[in-house]
Amino acid sequence: MKKQITKFVALSMSLMLFASPLIACGKKEQESLSYETWWTSDGSESSEETTEPSTSQAETSTTTTGETSDTAPVGLIENPFTGLIEMDEANAGKRGIGITINNCKVANPQRGTTEASVIFEYETEGGQTRLLCMYPDISKIPLVGAVRSGRVGASDMCAGTGAIFVCWGSDTTAVPAHVRNYSIDWVDLNNYIYDSLHGHDADEVPEGRFCWRDREWMNQPGHRTGIEHCGVTRGDFILKALEKTNVDISGTEPRMFNFVKTGTAKMTDAVDCTEINVYFSGTNDDGLFTYNAAEGVYYKSQYNGDPQMDCNVDKQISFTNVFVLYVPINPRPNDHSAERHKDIHFEEGGSGYYVSNGKLENITWTKPTPNDPIKCFDSKGNEIEVNAGKSYICVVDTDYAKKTTYK
């Protein structure tokens, strides 16, 4: 498939774009062209193409033990979502993005999930689950999909990180009022759809449209059925959407967890855990994480053991950390709609597991308000240490706690 790259435009324009390669599902990973952030360290816009970091630099920035500021590669700062020194310093003082992605069986494989620093998975109506994929740097967000509608619970997960919430449609009976009441910044891409008839050529998306339906992706044999499972967007389009809606990207984000600077996290009363199978619902009952000791990560599978894939790069997603948070999830009272939307009661806190480095630790956790971060504690009431690296956070109904198994 041809790579689509936008043409260089005059410096006087307000936005300089470099399109990332668009890779079809099922094809092997191709050599990629990186595009520089649209901001330089002094806050001005930049239009210069950059190359990928050297192999040694990339390896340094992705170590699971993290890097201190004394050993950080030049030009990189800490990613607040992972605790790793891997984020372009030009992104300092700018907020991340959380994007709602479909996770029903026919919406797999997904796009852009390997690039997410954190993924939340949570139950919605009908027992289906969706993902909230967190990206610290808007300019580095690849082609992402299938983008889906937002829920109150997802907006709360995003708000607790300081990021901006992005979705394609929403539960209109609750989400708009909720985000307004709690001053949660969000963008509903449903207002800016382009219905592409020719596949995923981003060059054809007209001005003022920031997401599109990839009909070619939808029609690939053995993948997805239904127009609602083919919505896609990308970082440069999200940036334009934020400008259009006057959402300020500036701001600081707290560290997602109490990441260890060096070495591995100390886990209280930990037990061995090379596999954990998370039961989300009767519809999605096998969220399986399998430990690869050589790589120090857990690989995710689901739906009868199928690897959960990112078809941008034809890779199975994997994570240094896995969290399972048990929380009351209930149908909304007086909701007589066909969907019977569900509310996630984070304010009640709960128990759960922290899994990393082949070990499992019992935890408790809190999130008193939508804008508060999730805090996790060990059996002695101390905030837990977390290994630097990507995290997968399973948000599971308390009623299903006994159905999660591990070994």
What CATH number is attached to the domain comprising 279?
3.50.90.10
Residue 29 lies in a domain: no
Report the distance separating Cα 162 and Cα 121, nearest Å. Answer: 18
Residues recorded for the chain = 407
Cβ(268)–Cβ(378) under 8 Å?
yes
**Is residue 366 domain-shared with residue 233, that is, in the same domain?**
no
pTM: 0.83
Report the distance separating Cα 81 and Cα 170, nearest Å. Answer: 25
**How many domains is the chain partitioned into structurally?**
2
**Between 56 and 259, whose confidence is greater?**
259
**Is residue 310 domain-shared with residue 204, that is, in the same domain?**
no
When the pLDDT of each residue in the chain is averaged and rounded to a whole number, the result is 83
Say if strands 359-366 and 375-377 run parallel, antiparallel, or are unpaired.
Answer: antiparallel
Report the distance separating Cα 148 and Cα 103, nearest Å. Answer: 9
Among 123, 401, 31, 91, which Cα is nearest to 253's? 91
pLDDT score, position 50? 36
**Is residue 82 domain-shared with residue 203, that is, in the same domain?**
yes
DSSP tag of 279: -
Report the distance separating Cα 215 and Cα 375, nearest Å. Answer: 41
Among 21, 30, 34, 29, which Cα is nearest to 203's? 21
Position 47 pLDDT exceeds 70: no
> Could you tell me which residues are beta bridge partners of residue 116?
none
Residue 7 lies in a domain: no
pLDDT in tens, 342-399: 899 999 999 999 999 999 999 999 999 999 999 999 999 999 999 999 999 999 999 9
**Is residue 180 domain-shared with residue 67, that is, in the same domain?**
yes
What six digits make up the tokens of 93? 């003082």
Cβ(215)–Cβ(204) under 8 Å?
no
Residue 104 is part of which domain span?
A: 55-244
pLDDT score, position 157? 98
Q: Helix or strand or coil: residue 148?
A: coil
pLDDT in tens, 257-288: 999 988 999 999 999 999 999 999 999 999 99
**Is residue 163 domain-shared with residue 286, that is, in the same domain?**
no
**Is residue 149 domain-shared with residue 222, that is, in the same domain?**
yes
pLDDT score, position 347? 97
Among 283, 319, 321, 326, which Cα is nearest to 304's? 283
Show which of 205, 228, 244 is a domain's final residue: 244
Q: Quote the distance between the C-alpha of residue 128 and its chain's center.
A: 17
Q: Ranked by mean pLDDT, which of 53-62, 131-140, 216-225, 331-340 comes out on top? A: 131-140
Residue 15 lies in a domain: no
Among 353, 360, 305, which Cα is nearest to 326's? 353
Residue 142 lies in a domain: yes
Report the distance separating Cα 159 and Cα 95, nearest Å. Answer: 11
Residue 250 lies in a domain: no
